[in-house]
Amino acid sequence: MLQRCGQCGTYNFFPKPWCIECGSRDLPWVDAKPSGTIYSFTVSRVVAMNYPAWERELPVVVALLNLDDGPRMYAQVIGCAPESIFIGQRVVACFEPLGSGLVIPKFRPQTDESSSAPAGQR
């Protein structure tokens, strides 16, 4: 979900108390398209910021994504070899449980199957 301005329709990300375009405080949460395109990315082959939980995931790909609804966000790209990732690649969201009901959005390369499956089944 993303905040979408009720006055001008702009999607706001990160969440904010007012619209980045018109200043309105009418920012309901709406369903967002779970897909985007890689704008840029980096591959980390060492643990970042001494955070040991990343060690089991190395190498970690962190990408700057253009979401299909407009906002740009950072996210981890998983489910593929880092060498196969490229700028302009289509990706779809998947949600990794962190425990206590929390999930983190990550992205996988889009395949023919992932582009046609309902969002909850990816």
Q: Which residues bind Zn ion (CB under 5 A)?
A: 5, 7-8, 10, 19, 21-22, 24
Nearest distance, CB of residue 71 and Zn ion, angstroms: 13
Nearest distance, CB of residue 72 and Zn ion, angstroms: 17
**Shorter beta-carbon distance to Zn ion: residue 7 or 111:** 7
CB 104 within 8 A of CB 94: no
Q: What is d(CA 15, CA 2) in angstroms, rounded to the nearest whole number?
A: 8
Nearest distance, CB of residue 24 and Zn ion, angstroms: 5
**Shorter beta-carbon distance to Zn ion: residue 17 or 99:** 17
Collapsed DSSP state (helix, strand, coil) of residue 82: helix
**Shorter beta-carbon distance to Zn ion: residue 10 or 66:** 10
Residues 6+ apart with CB under 8 A from 98: 104
48 phi/psi in degrees, rounded to 5: -90, 135
